[in-house]
A and B are shown apart, each in its own frame.
Chain A
Amino acid sequence: MSKAAGRLFFACVALFLALPVIVVAGVALNAKKTLAFPPQGLSADWYLSVLTDPAWRSALTNSVMVALAASTISVAIALPLSWFLWRRVAPWARLVQMIGFSPFVLPPVITALGALSFWATTGFYGQVWTVVISHGIFFVSLPLVTITLGFATIDREIIEAGMTMGADDKTLMKTVIFPLIRPFVISGFAFAFVLSLNEYIVAYMTVGFTLETIPIKVFNALRYGYTPTMAAVSVFFVLIAVLVFGTVARFGDLPKLMGAWSKGE
């Protein structure tokens, strides 16, 4: 394929990926309180209302709080698990790892339904913290993948070199292993955070009637009353994702975190 054809192909894909984002961004600029594209009259009001409208602001706060807490739980589960699998010979632990991958591999509806049944049965249905736990479990796979990958990139000889230089297990963990793992932990956290912000069905099925996160509010808005605010919110969330991953890329080696060899290999 010639270079020009290749560039054209990439441009088409870029256009395809960007179109919805452009639409949504444009809709949010509409002066009137309707969803029209191309926008009729431009106004930045809707972008501002995300922060000024109390309903949206509280939904934003809810989403961020839930996402922060849930990602922390995801990492808290994934890190010791990956560590154990790397440090010890324990074939049975693979089973736990597979269970860790399952929620994300299975259709989200399943996890959502499972969460719903569980919380309903245990009587905690609707409590705010239930979505934190369910999201934490749902997104375990992401840090699990990145941290497992991270451990796999640690050359055993590096550990042995540390040993020959006088480092005991604790020192090795502190000075060698953790610094090498850290970027993978952060990227796993970032993934879980961003996906939790945008996650709809699990949130809806667990706390949909008691807590409004942004995706829930957007979906409700779709059904019951449009305002371009929801479009503005969506744009914000895309920007947050780009910002988060951009930061990860800035301080780490993003291709390597996604599975490529590192620079110069």
Chain B
Amino acid sequence: MRRSPPQRLADYLPIAFPAGMLGLFFVIPFGIMVAISVFKRVQGGFYEPSFTLANYARFLTPFFGEVLSFSLGLAALVSALCLLIGVPFTYMLTRLGRRAQVFWLIALLGVLSLSEVIIGFAWSTLLSRTAGLSNLFVWLGLMEKPEAWAPGLGAVLTGLVYQAFPYTVLVLYPAFSRLDPSLMEAARTLGCSPRRAFLNVVLPVMRKTLLATFIIVFIFALGAYLLPQILGRPQHWTLSVLVTDQAIYQSNMPFAAAMAVFLVIASLLLVGLSVLISGRKGIGEQ
């Protein structure tokens, strides 16, 4: 069993099914979506085949511009916050004993599997006036009367950070696990305090990983479609929310498709950028 190029027709068999399934059920739907984005919208929730760039032209409206810049800014902020908390967290996690790591991994995986709906519901409750945390603070004497912190930008941020945090940690985990502990030790023997060693040695070494993770979490945050709706007001709606809205409630498939195509191109560009930066051959081949 030696690694060699496929020679007989039968050698190609294993990849036939995956390629076929992905081609049929991912590439083609994607292609159809791109096609729809240039169709003409017909009242009543349908569209007819045509070729018009009208849907893309709507990108040039100030409204769209606002939504776009808000979405990008929000995603960047969420990613930055996740990294700010997640990087020291993951680093310390990987220095813990095996059992502690298993515990935390299970906890993080559990939280990761929570659907956006549940997260939205839970945080909207936590930040509400009647049942939320502010009641606790009043009881503790830190506040005078309970407040509603949702809906609002802070609520959206909190929900998004909550959703993206486990993802951030799990993406950082392999790299930090494999970080050579002797780097920190060498720095310490050279006179650095642990904090300085972390900032001056570990972070620069992990630079590529951090950048790549930032981009991955950025795209993840960009994809949030429910939390901005549940925890925010219409001015907090992101691009993904708009796509859902247009596709389902406004029955404007072509415009939704156009925005989706835009999102895809942006995401792919960013993924390509992160692959270039981290110089990885592929996930799992470090």
Q: Which residues of A contact B (CB under 8 A)?
A: 1, 6, 9-10, 13-14, 16-17, 19-21, 23-24, 27, 35-38, 73, 76-78, 80-81, 83-84, 87-90, 93-94, 96-97, 99-103, 105-118, 121, 133-134, 136-137, 140, 145, 148-149, 151-152, 159, 163, 169, 172, 191, 194-195, 197-201, 205, 215, 218-219, 222, 230-231, 234, 237-238, 241-242, 245-246, 249, 254-255, 258-261, 263
Contact = CB atoms under 8 A, between A and B. Distances in A.
A199 B260 CA distance: 19
B1 A254 contact: no
Contacts of B44: none
Contact of B219 (A106, A114, A230, A245): A106
B32 A9 contact: no
A198 B14 contact: no
Contacts of B27: 99
Contact of B173 (A1, A117, A199, A259): A259
A261 B263 contact: no
Contacts of B183: none
B121 A218 contact: yes
Interface in B152-178: 162, 165-166, 170, 173-175, 177-178
A245 B106 contact: yes
B59 interface: no
Contact of B1 (A117, A163, A218): A163
B276 interface: no
Interface in B267-281: 267-268, 271
Given A77-B17, A106-B263, A205-B248, 16 more contacts: A16-B165, A19-B122, A24-B122, A105-B219, A106-B264, A107-B219, A109-B225, A110-B223, A110-B263, A113-B247, A117-B253, A137-B22, A199-B115, A215-B117, A249-B102, A255-B102
A23 B126 contact: yes
Given A103-B26, A258-B174, A84 B257 contact: no
B40 to A, nearest CB: 15
14 contacts: A9-B88, A36-B130, A37-B131, A80-B14, A81-B15, A81-B18, A105-B219, A113-B33, A149-B283, A159-B1, A234-B121, A249-B102, A259-B174, A259-B177
Contacts of B256: 113
Interface in B83-120: 85, 88-89, 92, 94, 98, 101-102, 105-111, 113-120
A137 B21 contact: yes
B210 interface: no
B263 to A, nearest CB: 6
Contacts of A215: 115, 117-118
A198 B264 CA distance: 23
Interface in B10-38: 11, 14-15, 17-19, 21-23, 25-30, 32-33, 36
Contact of A89 (B4, B32, B131, B226): B4
B42 to A, nearest CB: 14
B214 interface: no
Contacts of B113: 194-195, 197-198, 237-238, 241
The binding surface of chain B is classed by DSSP as helix
A137 B126 contact: no
A145 B284 contact: yes
B62 interface: no
Given A23-B122, A114-B33, A260 B18 contact: no
A197 B264 CA distance: 25
B6 interface: yes
Nearest to B171: A259
A245 B110 contact: yes
A226 B98 CA distance: 42
Contacts of B32: 114, 117-118, 121
Contacts of B248: 205
B26 A99 contact: yes
Contacts of A19: 122, 126
Contacts of A218: 115, 117-118, 121
A258 to B, nearest CB: 5
B92 to A, nearest CB: 6
B191 interface: no
